[in-house]
C-alpha cells in the first residue's frame, strides 16, 4: 500500500515562505538540500509525518503562474475559530470562516488562507473525516 509522504510547491523566496509556514502552521525545517540550480526545503510539524516540500529555483525572479490546475493544500486544527483569530492577529489574512453544509448536516467548518506565493491552504476543524 502506498503512503503519502510529501507534496511539493515552487516558491520564489525561501525565507518568506519558511516564515509563513512556521507562523501559520508550526512547520519547521526537517531537511534542506542545496543543489547548484535549486534548493529543496522539507517542512513538517509534530502533528503528522507528512511533509511540505518547498522548491526554490535559484535565479528565478518572476512569480510562478499557478494556472487553473492547482487546487489547495489542507490542514486540520482542533479549534478553527481560535486558529482563525490567531492568524488574523498575526496579520496573515485568513479569509472568512465557513460552515459547509449538506442540507441541515454540517460537513465541515473551514477557512482558506493564501501563502506568499498565492497557494491556497484550507484550514479545517478536526472532526468527521477531517482528522
0.85 cut: is pTM over it?
yes
Of residues 68, 84, 65, 66, the one with CA closest to residue 122: 84
Residue ranges covered by each domain of the chain: 1-59, 70-131
Name which CATH class applies to 1-59.
alpha beta
Q: Which residues have a Cβ under 8 Å from the Cβ of 2 and sit 6 or more positions away?
A: none
The single residue listed with the C-alpha cell 542545496 is 34
**Torsional sign, CA 37, 48, 81, 127:** positive
For the record, the C-alpha cell of 40 comes out as 529543496
The single residue listed with the C-alpha cell 488562507 is 113
Q: Span 70-131: which CATH code?
A: 3.30.720.110
Q: Which residue out of 36, 53, 122, 125 is catalytically annotated?
A: 122
Of residues 7, 21, 4, the one with CA closest to residue 116: 21
Of residues 5, 12, 123, 18, the one with CA closest to residue 66: 12
Of residues 71, 78, 83, the one with CA closest to residue 111: 83
Please tell me the predicted confidence (pLDDT) of residue 127. 87
Please tell me the predicted confidence (pLDDT) of residue 69. 78
Residue 122 appears among annotated catalytic residues = yes
* Tens-digit pLDDT string for the chain (131 aa): 868 899 999 999 999 999 999 999 999 999 999 999 999 999 999 999 999 999 999 999 999 998 887 889 999 999 999 999 999 999 999 999 999 998 999 889 999 999 999 999 999 999 888 87
Please tell me the predicted confidence (pLDDT) of residue 68. 82
d(CA 39, CA 92): 25
* Distance, C-alpha 48 to centroid of its chain: 13
Amino acid at each position: 500500500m502506498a503512503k503519502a509522504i510529501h507534496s511539493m510547491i515552487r516558491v520564489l523566496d525561501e525565507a518568506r515562505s519558511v516564515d509563513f509556514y512556521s507562523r501559520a502552521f508550526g512547520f519547521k525545517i526537517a531537511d534542506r538540500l542545496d543543489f547548484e540550480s535549486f534548493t529543496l526545503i522539507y517542512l513538517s510539524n509534530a502533528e503528522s509525518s507528512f511533509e511540505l516540500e518547498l522548491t526554490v529555483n535559484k535565479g528565478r525572479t518572476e512569480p510562478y503562474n499557478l494556472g487553473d490546475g492547482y487546487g489547495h493544500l489542507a490542514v486540520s486544527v482542533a479549534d478553527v475559530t481560535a486558529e482563525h483569530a490567531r492568524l488574523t492577529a498575526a496579520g496573515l489574512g485568513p479569509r472568512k470562516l465557513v460552515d459547509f453544509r449538506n442540507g441541515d448536516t454540517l460537513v465541515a467548518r473551514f477557512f482558506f488562507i493564501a501563502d506568499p506565493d498565492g497557494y491556497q491552504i484550507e484550514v479545517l476543524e478536526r472532526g468527521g473525516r477531517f482528522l
